[in-house]
Structure 1
Amino acid sequence: MSLSMFNASIPLLMQGLNNLLVILGKAETFAEQKKVASDVMAASRLAIDMVPLTRQVQIACDTAKGCGARLSGQDNPSFADDETNLQELQARVRKTLAFLEQLHAEQFEGSDDKAIVLNFPSITLNFNGQDYLTQFVLPNFYFHLTTAYGILRHIGVDLGKRDYLGKVGGV
């Protein structure tokens, strides 16, 4: 049996987002213990020319919900990019998870050949569904998830590989 587009996308994206919730929760605990304002944590970045934690989380969520919407033929929910603290970032992740949870495998049938066009200010990207998932969604999602992890780890949040990977192999 081949791997369906649904199984190659939604469970992976949901696992990553659930792990991000754990990571953000640990960041919130760290902020409380160290008496650091939640908005200061959310504005942190790895390098001056990189976007801050808030934008990393927003892009990870947008990538996940955009994937689910485009491949299933659903409307892509629009979320305002107005989060300024860890609690609001966690709420955004939860909203994204709620959208992904209502999607069903049948909605993804035939999406591997579906035309996907992404318009950005300086470029238009054209994909079929499978290439969109494998060449854009998954690398982009994991980049921003990893960068969010890296930002928080860099500022001292006690995180490890298990926090990033979450539950694997039944453990």
Structure 2
Amino acid sequence: MAPALYTASVPVFLHYLEQARGLVAQCRTQPDLLEAKLAPDMFSGAQQFASAAGFALRGTFPMIGERTPDFPEAAMDYDGVLARIDFAHERLVTLDPATFDGAEGRTVRHIAGFAELDQKAGDYLHLFAMPNFLFHLSMGFAVLRQGGLEIGKSDFDGLHDYPQGFSF
């Protein structure tokens, strides 16, 4: 049986990175949608998805006592965002569940904005890393939806199903 923090992180991040990839891929013919922002002081859609990919790595590697991998240089455009998502996915699939043995007892020291925090690994994952991952993924989704891309909840989570033409 896989350690609890592995099960609560890696499979979830992998699932939603696949969803993020699918959302970004739908911008293939309209890559300028990724440049949009919900508000002037917010990240662009591209940066939101890139930040989500970053939190997938930032949310796992510190829990196993490893340094978070650095993303390769890539433009903050359609191809660059897909490269970041793919990089995060490739790194996560290499993680052995056994490396999470004892993670519950680790303390993760990290920066949240300008705050320096020390959190037990479970709190770090559940109260910081996962919420931030989902925040940036949701904001990226919202940018694309606001920009007119016809996407819905099923595109976000890969689980919901609604009939064609359904709306709330």
Normalised by the shorter chain, which TM-score bucket?
Answer: 0.7 to 0.9
Question: Structure 2 unaligned runs (5+)?
Answer: 161-168
| SS of equivalent residue, structure 1 residue 135 | helix
- Asked if 2 retains the 8 angstrom alpha-carbon contact of 1:43 and 1:54, the reply is yes
Give the counterpart letter for 1:157 in structure 2: L
Distance in structure 2 (CA, Å) of the matches to 1:94 and 1:152: 19
Q: Which residue of 2 aligns with 1:11?
A: 11
- Asked if 2 retains the 8 angstrom alpha-carbon contact of 1:57 and 1:89, the reply is yes
Q: Which residue of 2 aligns with 1:108?
A: 100
Question: Structure 1 unaligned runs (5+)?
Answer: 32-37
Does residue 52 of structure 2 align to residue 68 of structure 1? no
The alignment's TM-score, normalised by the length of structure 1, stands at: 0.86
Q: 2:116 aligns with which of 105, 124, 131?
A: 124
Identity of aligned residues (%): 25
The alignment's TM-score, normalised by the length of structure 2, stands at: 0.87
Cα 1:51–1:126 change in 2 (3 A) is same
Q: Could you list the per-position Cα deviations for residues 22-64 of structure 1 after superposition, in whole angstroms to 9, with x for gaps in the alignment?
A: 00111224x1xxxxxx2x3222111112111122122111111
Give the stretch that moved more between structures: 46-55 or 138-147. 46-55
Aligned length: 160
Q: Could you list the per-position Cα deviations for residues 85-108 of structure 1 after superposition, in whole angstroms to 9, with x for gaps in the alignment?
A: 112111110011000000011001
Return structure 1 stretches of 4+ with deviation > 3 angstroms.
none
- Asked if 2 retains the 8 angstrom alpha-carbon contact of 1:41 and 1:86, the reply is no
Root-mean-square deviation over aligned CA pairs: 1.9
Greater share of residues in helix = 1
- Asked if 2 retains the 8 angstrom alpha-carbon contact of 1:58 and 1:81, the reply is no
